[in-house]
Amino acid sequence: MEVLIVGSGNMARGIGLRLVRGGHRVRIADREPDKAADLAAELGDSAAGEPLNNAAGAEVVVLATPYEGSKQVAEMWAGDLAGKTVVDICNPVDYDTFDGLVTPPGKSAAEEIAAAAPGARVVKAFNTTFASRLANSTPLDVFIAGDDPEAKKTITGLCLDADLRPIDVGGLKHAAALEAFQLLHMKAQEQIKGGWATALTFAAA
Amino acid sequence: MEVLIVGSGNMARGIGLRLVRGGHRVRIADREPDKAADLAAELGDSAAGEPLNNAAGAEVVVLATPYEGSKQVAEMWAGDLAGKTVVDICNPVDYDTFDGLVTPPGKSAAEEIAAAAPGARVVKAFNTTFASRLANSTPLDVFIAGDDPEAKKTITGLCLDADLRPIDVGGLKHAAALEAFQLLHMKAQEQIKGGWATALTFAAA
């Protein structure tokens, strides 16, 4: 499958590594094409870098950008994204307080992004997985919320290929819970000496 | 410390077992005194059962009842509970849909319970720990939200005594995230074959 990842930061890298190991082709798109090319080079022959032009040809688009950037790309590419599986991974953390989210009350970032690109099959996923845990190859829970069953099936398949455990938590309305809880996971890092490498998981007995 | 647990169901049992093992005295109060007595007998010499009379003497009150029952007890005992550490453990799940919560939009059960007993030092805790995991003695994460530092300190201490890992997630406003995410944990049981024995945790690398 061909997956276009927007962004070339740590999360783009982590998800890209998993996808390439899972046997998929990855395109890295970034406003700064040099950064996209550098990450693609690290990911190997199954990856290529490109400027932030368009999403044509990609079967899945992963917005591996911060909340505001993801909303902008969703708006800018709204036509392109209609009908496509679009993955929102962001955490709309209020970094001024580090104790709340910047989304409007009762709304998740995922729903805001879905509203910005009507017709896109938006799935929330990967917002609870720290980049460092994606980059190593151990199993990891990925919580998936979305209203389009086909889109969720696609992301579920990508996760299974990448040695990730997909957990379907229901409709996109549940993205709010994923975002709110990940804030707590982030806030707890210092307290639990997590080193930004802990995994939010439903651990078996 | 003397802890009064309201309710004699599985969660009362699980928390009671942990507290007794941690060296604390436990009172079990239930509308049906026979049930309270039975659970107290199981917990051993450090426990005693009683009818649902009052909270006098208890240093900590744990409302191990469903949401509606907890609100009722908070109202009924409002005078008694003022100044006391009160633990809300409930999950206000909408069991008709099993896909949402019955709390008013933007409000958590913990905040509703705090509103019902003004002056009580309400702490949200134990809502993400399944009873079966509390009943066995392995370590387990307990997420704690509350606005009263002293009350949180008390519950943190009880957790440490009971081989539980307390994680302070911040103010009572974060109870909403704990409640919303636990719904997802419950919903996922069938999918992940969790057997209602999984532990929501921030797992180390």
pLDDT digits (tens, 9 = 90+) for B54-108: 999 999 999 999 999 999 999 999 999 999 999 999 999 999 999 999 999 999 9
The amino acid at A189: Q
pLDDT digits (tens, 9 = 90+) for B116-163: 999 999 999 999 999 999 999 899 999 999 999 999 999 999 999 999
Domains of chain A: 2-187 (3.40.50.720)
Task: Output the average pLDDT for chain B.
Answer: 97
Report the C-alpha gap between A103 and A122 in whole angstroms.
Answer: 17
Give chain A positions within 8 Å (CB) of B166. none
C-alpha distance from B111 to closest chain A C-alpha (Å): 16
DSSP B58-88: -SEEEE-S-HHHHHHHHHHTHHHHTTSEEEE
Element (H, E) at B113: helix B109-116
Report the C-alpha gap between A28 and B196 in whole angstroms.
Answer: 40
pLDDT digits (tens, 9 = 90+) for B172-188: 999 999 999 999 999 99
pLDDT of residue B160: 98
Q: Do B177 and A174 touch (CB under 8 A)?
A: no
pLDDT in tens, chain A (205 residues): 999 999 999 999 999 999 999 999 999 999 999 999 999 999 999 999 999 999 999 999 999 999 999 999 999 999 999 999 999 999 999 999 999 999 999 999 999 999 999 999 999 999 999 999 999 989 999 999 999 999 999 999 999 999 999 999 999 999 999 999 999 999 999 999 999 999 999 999 8
Nearest to A86 by CA among A94, A95, A78: A78
pLDDT of residue B205: 84
Element (H, E) at B124: strand B121-124
Q: Which of B106, B184, B191 lies at the smallest CB-CB distance from A105?
A: B106
Report the C-alpha gap between A176 and A108 in whole angstroms.
Answer: 5
pLDDT of residue B172: 98
Tokens of B135: 């009943």
Q: Which of A184, A185, A190 to mutate to test the interface with B (most CBs of B within 10 A)?
A: A184
Is residue A88 within 8 Å of residue A123, measured between CB atoms?
yes
pLDDT of residue A57: 94
| Axis crossing angle, helix B175-191 with helix A175-187, rounded to the nearest 10 | 120
pLDDT of residue B72: 98
Residue ranges of A 46-105 with Cβ closer than 8 A to chain B: 99-100, 105
Report the C-alpha gap between B192 and B74 in whole angstroms.
Answer: 36
What ipTM goes with this model?
0.97
pLDDT of residue B184: 98
